[in-house]
């Protein structure tokens, strides 16, 4: 049995706060990581268990066949698709080796900046305090600094705010004249309303300088399987990304999951609706906390500014864990003003969300 490196709840907090996963081993309520609690259904796990010998003993398929499996799920030709060991593998290629200069609105998912070599990344501050992206200012800055890759995460992490599709198309057109690829990270888009109208997936052929990036961990609840993909009609760009991926980057369990996923399409849609229902109720409850600024979420998590007279984000986060064994994320470490006043809370079940609200109110002051 794994011997944990802590003896007290305070030591447990210090240990857990330095980890990037494996949370299930430590017995606490995880309102930090952002995934779908209602998918996959039990039948998926039963299938994987029944086929475990073949999945363990045999080599998985390589990139071209994996791209076909994703293509079947999203109704796209395989030559437009690159399959990654999670979106993080593709981000490492985009930021770490392909981009000469990459521009990222901040605050955002830190990996885009972290994966870039020193001097190759420009952080573009979102409008404050609304955290909205002004795409015209963003395009102007991208052109000014000579960026060849621009990134927009929608809904954004940590703000949970959507960037309108019309804005993204306008941005892409502005950048196209300057040979700049627009990476649109749609990892949380399944939790938005009218996803089909908001996603750029089905319009991808019209915009050769757009690539969509998607982590499947979040929407499909499969963090441990590590699957992500890039979709673009720019086959030269797809090939450049593909060159950075090694031959067997996806294991047999992930491959088998992709193979059987189309059978569970209705269960997946239903699970996303359940997530949205829970999140909307959670948002309304958070709005009742006096002095709290709560941003209306488009994803499965909520971004909040703590009341001015409350304790700081890091202190609230620590107290919540030590007293109630509940883990959330503060915004320290994000590039934004007043980072220590903001927290990001993943929505879980209604019961867990109710418990979090009661506990949060207790530790805030």
pLDDT above 80: residue 4: no
Architecture of domain 43-263: 3-Layer(aba) Sandwich (3.40)
Give the distance from CA 48 to its chain's centroid: 25
What would the DSSP string read from start to end of 71-111? HHHHT--GGGEEEESSHHHHHHHIIIII-SSEEEEESS-TH
Which pLDDT does position 76 carry in this prediction?
98
Going by pLDDT thresholds of 50, 70 and 90, the confidence category of residue 219 is very high
Any bridge partners for residue 294, and if so which?
304
Mean pLDDT of 203-215: 98
Burial letters for 347-364: b for 16+ Cβ neighbours within 10 Å, e otherwise?
bbeeebbebbeebbeebb
Which pLDDT does position 2 carry in this prediction?
52
Going by pLDDT thresholds of 50, 70 and 90, the confidence category of residue 1 is very low
Q: Do 9-40+266-363 and 43-263 share a fold? A: no
Mind listing the pLDDT tens digit for each residue in 263-286?
999 999 999 999 999 999 999 999
Containing 303, the helix (H) or strand (E) segment is: strand 301-305
Q: Which two tokens stand for residue 151?
A: 């990134």
Mind listing the pLDDT tens digit for each residue in 145-170?
999 999 999 999 999 999 999 999 99
pLDDT above 90: residue 101: yes
d(CA 191, CA 194): 9
Going by pLDDT thresholds of 50, 70 and 90, the confidence category of residue 5 is confident
Mention every residue, 6+ apart, whose C-beta is less than 8 A from residue 251. Answer: 55, 60, 225, 226
Domain 9-40+266-363 is found in CATH 3.90.1150.10 = yes
Mind listing the pLDDT tens digit for each residue in 243-263?
999 999 999 999 999 999 999
Give the distance from CA 198 to its chain's centroid: 17
Mean pLDDT of the chain: 97
Beta-sheet pairing, 342-346 with 301-305: antiparallel
Q: So where are the chain's domains? A: 9-40+266-363, 43-263
Containing 44, the helix (H) or strand (E) segment is: helix 42-50
Which pLDDT does position 3 carry in this prediction?
61
Question: Quick check: helix, strand or coil at residue 29?
Answer: strand
Mean pLDDT of 209-219: 97
């Amino acid at each position: 049995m794994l011997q944990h490196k802590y003896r007290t709840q305070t030591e447990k907090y210090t240990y857990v706060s330095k980890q990037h996963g494996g949370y299930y081993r430590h017995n606490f309520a995880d309102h930090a990581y952002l995934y779908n609690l209602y998918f996959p259904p039990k039948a998926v796990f039963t299938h994987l268990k029944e086929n475990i010998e073949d999945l363990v003993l045999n080599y998985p398929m390589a990139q071209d066949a994996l791209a076909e499996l994703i293509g079947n799920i999203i109704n796209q030709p395989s030559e437009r698709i690159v399959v990654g060991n999670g979106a993080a593998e593709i981000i490492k290629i985009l930021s770490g080796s392909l981009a000469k200069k990459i521009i990222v609105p901040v605050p955002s998912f830190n990996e885009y900046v972290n994966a870039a070599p020193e001097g190759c990344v420009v952080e573009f501050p979102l409008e404050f305090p609304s955290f909205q992206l002004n795409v015209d200012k963003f395009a102007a800055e991208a052109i000014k600094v000579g960026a060849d890759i621009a990134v927009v995460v929608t809904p954004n992490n940590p703000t949970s705010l959507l960037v309108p599709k019309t804005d993204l198309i306008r941005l892409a057109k502005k950048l196209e004249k300057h040979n700049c690829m627009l990476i649109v990270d749609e990892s949380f888009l399944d939790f938005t309303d009218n996803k089909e109208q908001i996603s750029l997936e089905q319009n991808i052929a019209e915009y050769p300088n757009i690539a969509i990036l998607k982590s499947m961990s979040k929407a499909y609840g499969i963090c441990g399987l590590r699957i992500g993909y890039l979709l673009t009609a720019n086959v030269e760009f797809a090939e450049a990304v593909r060159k950075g991926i090694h031959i067997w980057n996806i294991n047999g369990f992930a491959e088998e999951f992709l193979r059987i996923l189309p059978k569970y399409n209705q269960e997946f849609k239903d699970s996303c609706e359940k997530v949205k229902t829970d999140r909307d109720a959670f948002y309304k409850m958070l709005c009742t906390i006096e002095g709290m600024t709560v941003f209306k979420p488009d994803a499965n998590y909520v971004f909040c500014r703590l009341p001015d007279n409350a304790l700081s984000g890091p202190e609230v986060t620590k107290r919540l864990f030590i007293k109630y064994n509940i883990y959330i994320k503060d915004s320290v470490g994000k590039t934004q003003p007043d980072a220590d006043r903001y927290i990001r809370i993943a929505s879980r079940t209604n019961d867990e969300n109710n418990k979090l609200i009661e506990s949060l109110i207790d530790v805030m002051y």
